[in-house]
Structure 1
Amino acid sequence: MTSTTAASAGLSPEDVAARVARGEVNTLPPRSGRTVGEIVRANVFTRINAILAVLLVIVLATGSWINGAFGLLIIANSAIGIIQELRAKRTLDSLAVLGEARPLVRRSTGEARVARDEIVLDDLIVLTPGDQVVVDGEIVEADYLEVDESLLTGESDPEPKGAGEAVLSGSFAVSGAGVYRATKVGADAYAAQLVAEASRFTLVRSELQGGINRILRFITWLLIPVGIATVIVQLLYTGSDWRQAVLRMAGALVPMVPEGLILLTSMAFALGVVRLGKRQCLVQELPALEGLARVDVVCADKTGTLTENGMRCGDIVALADVDASRIRAALAQLAAADPHPNASLQAIAEEVGEPASLWTPQARAPFTSAKKWSGVTFAEQGSWVLGAPDVLGDAAAAARAEQIAVTGLRVLLLGRTAVPVDAGDAPGAVDAVALVVLEQRVRPDAAQTLAYFAEQGVDVKVISGDNAGSVAAVTGALGLDAGPPVDARGLTSPERLGEAVTTHSVFGRVSPQQKRGMVHALQAEGHTVAMTGDGVNDVLALKDADLGVAMGSGSSATRSVAKIVLLDDRFATLPHVVAEGRRVIGNIERVANLFLTKTVYSAVLALLVVLWRLPFPFQPIHVTITGWFTIGIPAFLLSLAPNHERARPGFVQRVMRLGLPAGTIVAAATFTTYLLVLPPTGTADELVREQVAAATLSCLIIAATWVLAVVARPYEWWRVALVAASFGAYALIFLNATTQHLFLLDTSNRPMMAVGLLCGLVGAALVELTWWVRGWVFGERHTFWRTREPDAPAPNPRRDEDARAA
C-alpha cells in the first residue's frame, strides 16, 4: 500500500532557525540524567554526611580538634563520590553520543542525519525498517509502511500506516518506508521520556541498595536513643564534665555510622560503568550491573550475535527448467524493486549485479519476520517471491533446502506465483524456481565466548528465526554441545514452549512473540535471563528480559530498550561484562560484612557502657584510627579485586549471619577487657584513662582485624599481605611514642596491655569459630586458598585478526 499527502521538500534553514528561536525544538534531558550541580548536591547532602556533620560540630565545640579527625570522612565521602560520578558522566555522555540513533531528516537542503535534539517542529523525518519514531508525528508518505507499536500498546502485530495517520514516539518501522511530519517535540512527545531512560546515570536501586538502605534506616533510629542515653550516663553517673561527656558520646556514636559503605557502593558501580565503557560497552542503567552478576541463562540470537551481519551469496541452485540467466535477472529485479533491501537481498544484489533495464513493479510485499517472505508483482513478468523454503516451497523443495541448511548455510527460495503479492491470500501456490544459498560469517571470538559461559555455569540458548538445522550447524561448528535443534513452529502452546526451552538449547523458526515467551518461561523457572539481539524482531524479548543486550549496529529500537549496548558489536565483550557485574556485587557484599560488624560492635559496646553506667572507654580519635586499617583501606582494596562468584538473592540475610555474631563477640571481648583493666573506683586521672583506652583498644583492634582476616578469604598472596599490613600498621601506632601521644594512647602499663592482648586473641578465636559454624549451619562452602577460576577471555588482537583473515 502506497499513499502520499502533499509534502514539501522540507523546512528551509530560515524555517528551522525561526522554530529554534521560538523553542519549538526537540530538547532532550541530559544524557547522563543529572547535571554537575545535582551530582555535587547529591554527594554532599547525604544522610551519612549529615550525621557526621552534627557530631563534628558537637566535638569541635569542646575544643578538641584532634578528636574531630573523623570529619575528614565528610570531605572524602563527598569528593570521591563526586569525582567518580563526574568521570562516569563524561564516559557515558561520550558513549551515548556514539550509540544514539540519528534520524534521517528531509529539509530543503536535502536529506541528512541529525541528532535527535536538532529536530524541530514540522520537520520531515524519513522512516526505514528498524528506525524508531523519535518524535510524535503524522504520516505524509507511506510505501507499504508497517509500524510496531508494541512498546506503547503491548500489541505485537504491526500496524499498517497510511498518509494522514498518526505515529507516536516509541514505536518503530518494521517494514516498508515512509515519511512523517513532527507534530510534537521535546517534553510534549514520548521521546523525551525514552531518551531520559536510555542513557542516564542513576545511582543503583536494586536488592543490594535496598538492603543497604534498610540497614542505614535502622542505624539512624538507633543513634538517637543510644546518644541520649550515653550523654545522660556520662553526665550524671561518671562525674565527667560536659566536654568529656560529649567526647565520649561522639566516641560511642561515630563508629556506629557505616560511612564508607555508601561511598564504596557508589564508587564500585561507577567504576564498573567506566571500565565497561572503555570496552565500548554502554551501560544505560546502573542496575544492569547487578543483573549481570545474577545472569544464569543467556539467550543469544544467531544472526548478528554468533554470526556477523554481512552475508555472501554462495550458490544459486535451479529447481525448475528455467534458464540460469532468467533466475539471475529475476533476483536482480527483486533487489532493484526494494528501496530498502535487507542483508539477504543486499548479498544477492552484490552477486547478480544491477539489471540492464528495470521491470515495472505493480505491487510489493516487504519482508517481515512474521510471514518470512517478500515479493514483487511486475506488470509483464508476474509475481516473484523470495523467502523461507519451508514456507514458500513444496515438500521436495523444502527437503532439498534442508539438506543444504544442515551444513550451516542459509537458504532462500525463489518462486513464481499467480497471486498478486499484495492480495489477502498471498503468496498462494508457489512454483519453486531456485534455491539461493547464503553464507554467514561466524564471529571469530564466538567459540571462545561460548566456552567461557559453559565454564561459568551459564546456560546459552541460541534462538533464531532461521532454519533450525542451519542454526544447529553454526552452534556445532562453535563447539556448543546443545543437543538436537527444535523447530519452534511446532511449539503451538505456551506449555510446550516452556517445556522445550528448559530442556533444549537450539531453536529455529522462532517468531518474535515466541522469543518473548521463551524469556517468560525461563523467568518463571527462577532463572535470570540475558537476551542479546540486533533486529527489530528482538525488541519484545529484549524489553522483557532481566538484561537486554543490543548490538551497536542493530536497529535503534533495540538500542532504546536494551540495558546494555555493545557499541563495537563484539559478542566477546559479554564475558567481561558478566565478570564486571560479579566483581562489583560480590565485593560490595564482602565489604558490607566489615561495616556491619563495626556498627554492631559499636552499638553493643555503647549499650553495655550505658547499662553499667561507666565512662565510655574511647574518644573519637580512637574509633577513627580503628576504622583506618580494619575497614577503610582494606575495604577499598577488596572492593576493586576480581570476583567471579555469581550473585545470589538474600544479601541482607547473608551479611547479618556474620555481622551480628562477629560484632557481638568483638563488643563482648572489648567490654570484658574494659571491666578488667578499669580501676575499682571507676574514675582515674588522665594518664590512667589513656592506659585503659590503650588496653581496651588493643583488644578491639585484634578482634576486629580478625573479622577482616575472615572476610578476606579465600586467600591469595595479596590478601594475606593486606591482613598482615593492617596488624603491622596498628603495631606501629601502639609502639611509636609520637603516634601514642598524637592519638592519646599510653601502652606503658604492661599488665593492662597483656589483658587487652589476651582478650583480643580470645575474641579472634571466637570470630573464627563463628565463621566455621556459619558455614556448617547454612551449608556455605569455606575455602582458605583461592583456586584458579576461569576468567573472561583475554583479548588477543593478533588471534582475532588471523581469524578474520581466515
Structure 2
Amino acid sequence: MKHFVNRNSGTMNQTLQGLSTHEVEVQRAAGHGAVMPPPTSRTYAQIIREDVFTLINNLLFVLCAALLLMGQISEAVVSAGAVLFNVVISVVQEIRAKRALDRIALLTRPRATVIRDGQEQSIDPGALVQNDLLMLRTGDQVVVDGSIISEGYVEIDESLLTGESEPIMKQFGDLLSSGSFCLSGTACYRAERVGMASVAGQLTAKVRAFRRTFTPLQWQITVVIQSLLMVALYIEIILLMIALANQTALVEVVRMSVIVVSIVPIGLFLATSVAYALGAFRLAGKSALVQRLSAVESLSNVDVLCLDKTGTITTNTLVLEQMHPFNRSEAELRHLLALYVAHTSGRNATSLAIEAACASQHSHSSLHVREEIAFSSERKWSALSIEDPPYQGVYVLGAPEMLLPAFRSATDLGLFADEETRRGRRVLLFAFTRNLVPLQVIGEKPVLPADLLPLGMVSLRDELRHDVQKVLAGFSEVGVQMKILSGDHPQTVATLARQIGISGTEQVISGSELEQMDEGQLLQVVEDTTIFGRITPQQKERLVQALRSHHHYVAMIGDGVNDLLSLKQADLGIAMESGSQATRGLADIVLLNDSFAALPAAFAEGQRIRNGMESAMKLFLTRVLYLALLLLTIPMLGAFPFAPKQKALITFETIGIMAVALAAWAHPGPPSRHGLGHLLLHFALPAAVSLSLIAFGIYLLTFFHALQQIGESSADAQLLAQSALTTFAVCSGLLLVPFVVPPARWWAGGSNLSSDWRPTLLAAGLLVVYLGVIAFPPLRTFFSLAALHPIDYLFIGAAALLWSIIQRWLWRAHILERLLHLPWEDKA
C-alpha cells in the first residue's frame, strides 16, 4: 500500500486533511476559484437573435408592421409568412444540434475527487479552488494544473495536449497538466492553476466561443443578396420620387415597398436552410452530429484534409501483431507473457494488447511478486521479480536497444526487430534471469539485472479507426490532398500513413525544422509535404493558415485540446466524440462513436446540397431579374405590376415549394465547375429578358384594352392587368422548372439532362392549384385577382408556351454567349 507523504510537512495526516470548508470560501472570495472557459456552443438567445433579426428580415418586419397599422392585415400576414417559415426551420435545426451537443458534453464532463475536511468528495471542476488536494487514480482525467505531492509513480497520457502517443511517468514534484489522463498508478496533487488559468483552459480561451465561417455557396448567396439589395434600394428611391410627384397614398407606397423589397430573394435563405437541415437529418442516422448547418455542404468543397494521428487515425490502443520466441514454443512464450502482464500493477496500452492476445494462455495462478519496476517512457522498460518456482527469476519487458547492454555477450537476436521496425511497428523484447537481484536501491534509479537471456520478441501496431483506410482512399480518388499533423515522431507517422495508403510520405518535416523556416519556405513546404511530426498546437495552426493562404479549402480532423487552434483556423472542423469537450464544442461536425463511416455520406450529401442549390439559384435569379425589369418598366405607365398578395401567391407557386423540393430531390454527384457569373449569363439573364418583354406586352395589352374597349376605370384596369400578369408569371414560372431540371432531352438546353420527373410533375400539380385559386371566387378575391375572360386565360397560356419554345432556342443556340463572345458548352 502506498502512503501519501508531504515532504515539506513530514506528516501524512496534514496532507490528507486538505482544505476546510472555511478555507475554500476564503480562497474563492480572494478570486482563487476556478473560472471555467466560456461555452463553445451558442446560447438560445444568440441563435434566435442571429437567425431571426437579420437586415432583410428586419426590413420586412417593419414594412409588414406598417401594413398592419394601416389595416392591411391579410397582406401583412401573407407577406411575412415565408420569412417566418424560414426562421422557424433555421432556429429549430440549430437548437436541435445544440441540445445534442450539450447532452454529449454532460455525459462526458469529468468529475474531480478532492480531499476537504479530511474526506474525499466528488465535485464539478468548476467548484475547485487553488491549493485544493486532489486524488488521481487509474482512468481519471487531470482537471487542473498542479504538482504531485505523494510518493510513487503514475503513468500519464498527454496525447490530447501534445499529440504524443507515448505515456509519461510522473512522480513527486512533477507537474500534471489539465486535459491529460492517468493510465496507471495513484497520486495526490495540489491544485495550482484552475479553470481558465490551466493549460487546457488557456488553449480553449484562444478559440472563439462560436465561429461563423461562410462556405463558397454562402458567399455566392451573400453576393447575390447584397447586389440585389442595392438594386432594390435604387428602384425604391425612383418609385418614392414618382409617388411623391403623383401624391400617392401612403398605404400604396408601403405596398410598393413590400414588392420592391421582394427583389431581394430571402427565399434563398429558406432553400439553403431546408437543404442544410435535410442534410443534417440524413446524416443523423449515420453517426454524425452536424453542429453548423452549412458544414455538410462545406465538406464537398474540401481539397485538403488535415488529420491528427493519435486518437484520430488511430484508436489510442495497440494490437499485438507478431511473436518471435527464442528457444521455446510460441505457446510457452504466450503463457509467460500472460503471467507477466497479469501481475503488473499498471495497465497501459502495451499490457492491454498483450493481455488480449495471450489471455487464453493465462492459467490464473497467483504468483508472489517480490519487486516491481513500472514502465517509464524515459528508461523504456519494466520488470518483475518473481519468487515462486518454477517461475523464479527477474522478468524484463522493454525496448530491445535498452535491454541489449544487459545481455550476455554474443547474444544473437536475429533480424525480427529490424524488419518489424521498418514496417512501422513497435518491438518489445522479453527477457529473464534466474538471479533474484535487487532492481532498485532506495534513492537511486532502477537498474537492469546482468546476464539477461532472451525469451522472445513481440511487435505491436497502432489500431486504426474502422474504415479509415477506405474513407481516405475515397477522398484521394476525388482529388483531396491528405496532410497528417502529429506530435509523434515523423518516421512513425510516415509509416502509419503508408499503412493506410497515403502517398507522398517520402519527405517528412519535423516541428524543429518548421521553426527555422520563414513564411516563403513554409508556403512551399506545406504544398509539397504530406507528413508533419513532432509539431506543436501553434505549428498546426500555422500550417492550416498557410494552406488557406494558398486558396485551399481546408478541413481539420482532431480529437484533443492540442487540435483546438488548427480546428479554429480550418474552413471545416471535425472532431471525434471521444475527444476533449472543448474540441467537440468548437467542431462543425462531431463523428459519433469515433466513426469515419459518416464522412463519405457527408461528402455526397454536400454535393447534393450544392446541386440542389444551383437549381434553386436558377429559379431565384431568373425571377428577381425579371421582377426588377418589370419594376423599371411598368411604373412608366403610371401603374404597378403586382399587389403584395399577388406577389406572395407567385412566390408560393413558382419558388417557395419548388425551391424546397429541388433541395430535397437533388442528386449527389460532381457539382458544376462554373461559378455564379456563368449561371447568371447563360441561364438567368436570357430567361429574365425574354420573360420581361412578353410580360410587359401582356400587361400593356390588358391595361389599355380594359381602359379603351371595356371602359373600366384606371384602378380596375390596373387590377385586370395585374391579374393577367400574375397568371402569366405563374405559368411561365412553372414552365421554367423542366428547363432547370430537364426530365427529358427536349427540355435540355439551359441545364444538363436530369431524367428526374418529380419537379415537373410538382409544377403540374401547382398549376392545378393555381387554376383552383382563380376558379374559386373567395380565394380569387383574397389574393386580389380579377376574373378574366376564358379566352384571355387561353391567350396567356399560349404566350407562356411560346416563351418556352423561344427560350429553348435561345439557350440551345447560345445567342447571348455569341453576342458577348463567351465560351459555352452544349447541354442539349
How far apart in 2 are the matches of 1:199 and 1:274?
A: 27
In the superposition, the TM-score normalised over structure 1's length comes to 0.73
RMSD: 6.0
How far apart in 1 are the matches of 2:184 and 2:525?
A: 30
Give the superposition deviation at 1:700.
2.3
Equivalent residues in 2 for 1:156-305, closer than 5 Å: 180-183=189-192, 185=194, 205-234=214-243, 236=245, 241-242=248-249, 245-246=252-253, 249-250=256-257, 252-270=259-277, 272-273=279-280, 275-283=282-290, 285-286=292-293, 288-296=295-303, 298=305
Q: Does residue 434 of the first structure (1) align with residue 446 of the second (2)?
A: no
Equivalent residues in 2 for 1:401-550, closer than 5 Å: 401=417, 403=419, 411-414=427-430, 434-438=456-460, 449=471, 453=475, 475=500, 528-530=553-555, 532=557, 547-550=572-575
Residues 508 and 529, structure 2, Cα contact 8 Å, conserved in 1: no
Which structure 2 segments of 5+ residues have no match?
9-13, 387-392, 434-438, 743-753
* Alignment-derived partner of residue 726 in structure 1: 766
Give the superposition deviation at 1:605.
2.0
How far apart in 2 are the matches of 1:111 and 1:398?
A: 53
Q: Which amino acid aligns with 1:574?
A: L
Q: Which amino acid aligns with 2:771?
A: A
Q: 1:85 aligned to 49, 73, 94, which one?
A: 94
Q: Which amino acid aligns with 1:262?
A: F
How far apart in 1 are the matches of 2:5 and 2:507?
A: 38
Residues 542 and 548, structure 1, Cα contact 8 Å, conserved in 2: yes
* Alignment-derived partner of residue 386 in structure 1: 398
Q: 1:609 aligned to 621, 630, 634, which one?
A: 634
In the superposition, the TM-score normalised over structure 2's length comes to 0.71
Q: 1:567 aligned to 570, 592, 597, which one?
A: 592
Q: Does residue 342 of the first structure (1) align with residue 351 of the second (2)?
A: no
Equivalent residues in 2 for 1:97-112, closer than 5 Å: 97-98=106-107, 100-102=108-110, 104-107=112-115
Question: Secondary structure in 2 aligned to 1:744?
Answer: coil
Q: Which amino acid aligns with 1:230?
A: L
* Alignment-derived partner of residue 54 in structure 1: 62
Q: 2:781 aligned to 730, 738, 741, which one?
A: 741
Equivalent residues in 2 for 1:128-139, closer than 5 Å: 134-135=143-144, 137=146
Residues 145 and 192, structure 2, Cα contact 8 Å, conserved in 1: yes
> Kindly tell me: are residues 139 and 173 of structure 1, through their superposed partners in 2, closer, same or farther at Cα, counting changes over 3 Å?
same
Give the greater-gyration-radius structure (CA). 2
Q: Does residue 95 of the first structure (1) align with residue 104 of the second (2)?
A: yes
Residues 114 and 121, structure 2, Cα contact 8 Å, conserved in 1: yes
How far apart in 1 are the matches of 2:573 and 2:139?
A: 17
Give the superposition deviation at 1:679.
0.9
How far apart in 2 are the matches of 1:620 and 1:528?
A: 42
> Kindly tell me: are residues 531 and 226 of structure 1, through their superposed partners in 2, closer, same or farther at Cα, counting changes over 3 Å?
closer
Residues 361 and 377, structure 1, Cα contact 8 Å, conserved in 2: yes
Residues 10 and 106, structure 1, Cα contact 8 Å, conserved in 2: no
Residues 157 and 168, structure 2, Cα contact 8 Å, conserved in 1: yes
Give the superposition deviation at 1:338.
7.4
How far apart in 2 are the matches of 1:58 and 1:308?
A: 60
Give the superposition deviation at 1:146.
8.2
Q: Which amino acid aligns with 1:105?
A: T
Residues 625 and 685, structure 2, Cα contact 8 Å, conserved in 1: yes
Residues 95 and 277, structure 1, Cα contact 8 Å, conserved in 2: no
> Kindly tell me: are residues 449 and 748 of structure 1, through their superposed partners in 2, closer, same or farther at Cα, counting changes over 3 Å?
same
Q: 1:317 aligned to 315, 319, 324, which one?
A: 324
How far apart in 2 are the matches of 1:149 and 1:568?
A: 19
Residues 510 and 533, structure 2, Cα contact 8 Å, conserved in 1: no
> Kindly tell me: are residues 268 and 24 of structure 1, through their superposed partners in 2, closer, same or farther at Cα, counting changes over 3 Å?
farther
Give the superposition deviation at 1:366.
1.8
Give the superposition deviation at 1:3.
12
How far apart in 2 are the matches of 1:10 and 1:561?
A: 39
495-504 or 139-148: which moved more? Answer: 495-504
How far apart in 1 are the matches of 2:341 and 2:523?
A: 39
Q: 1:691 aligned to 709, 720, 726, which one?
A: 720
How far apart in 1 are the matches of 2:496 and 2:569?
A: 24
Q: Does residue 628 of the first structure (1) align with residue 652 of the second (2)?
A: yes
Residues 114-138 of structure 1: CA deviation (Å, up to 9, x unaligned): 6554555544456799987655556
How far apart in 1 are the matches of 2:578 and 2:164?
A: 26
> Kindly tell me: are residues 531 and 37 of structure 1, through their superposed partners in 2, closer, same or farther at Cα, counting changes over 3 Å?
closer
Give the superposition deviation at 1:620.
0.8
Which structure 1 segments of 5+ residues have no match?
368-372, 785-806
Q: Which amino acid aligns with 1:594?
A: L
Q: Which amino acid aligns with 1:566?
A: L
The total of aligned residue pairs comes to: 763
Give the superposition deviation at 1:298.
4.9
* Alignment-derived partner of residue 8 in structure 1: 15
How far apart in 2 are the matches of 1:595 and 1:397?
A: 74
Q: 1:591 aligned to 611, 616, 621, which one?
A: 616
Residues 709-762 of structure 1: CA deviation (Å, up to 9, x unaligned): 333452423233223323333333344444333322235246654554454345
Give the superposition deviation at 1:599.
3.0
How far apart in 1 are the matches of 2:823 and 2:432?
A: 66
* Alignment-derived partner of residue 703 in structure 1: 732
Give the superposition deviation at 1:619.
0.9
Give the superposition deviation at 1:616.
0.8
Give the superposition deviation at 1:378.
8.7
* Alignment-derived partner of residue 374 in structure 1: 380
How far apart in 1 are the matches of 2:42 and 2:568?
A: 24
Residues 159 and 560, structure 2, Cα contact 8 Å, conserved in 1: no
> Kindly tell me: are residues 77 and 484 of structure 1, through their superposed partners in 2, closer, same or farther at Cα, counting changes over 3 Å?
closer
Q: 2:697 aligned to 666, 672, 675, which one?
A: 672
* Alignment-derived partner of residue 800 in structure 1: none
Give the superposition deviation at 1:547.
4.4
669-678 or 680-689: which moved more? Answer: 680-689
How far apart in 2 are the matches of 1:197 and 1:583?
A: 35
Residues 450-473 of structure 1: CA deviation (Å, up to 9, x unaligned): 675577665678999787998589
Give the superposition deviation at 1:85.
3.0
> Kindly tell me: are residues 61 and 305 of structure 1, through their superposed partners in 2, closer, same or farther at Cα, counting changes over 3 Å?
closer
Q: Which amino acid aligns with 1:39?
A: I
How far apart in 1 are the matches of 2:207 and 2:404?
A: 39
Percent identity of equivalent pairs = 28
How far apart in 2 are the matches of 1:656 and 1:128?
A: 64
Give the superposition deviation at 1:256.
1.3
Residues 243-282 of structure 1: CA deviation (Å, up to 9, x unaligned): 6742651463142132322244345445544554544434
Question: Secondary structure in 2 aligned to 1:679?
Answer: helix
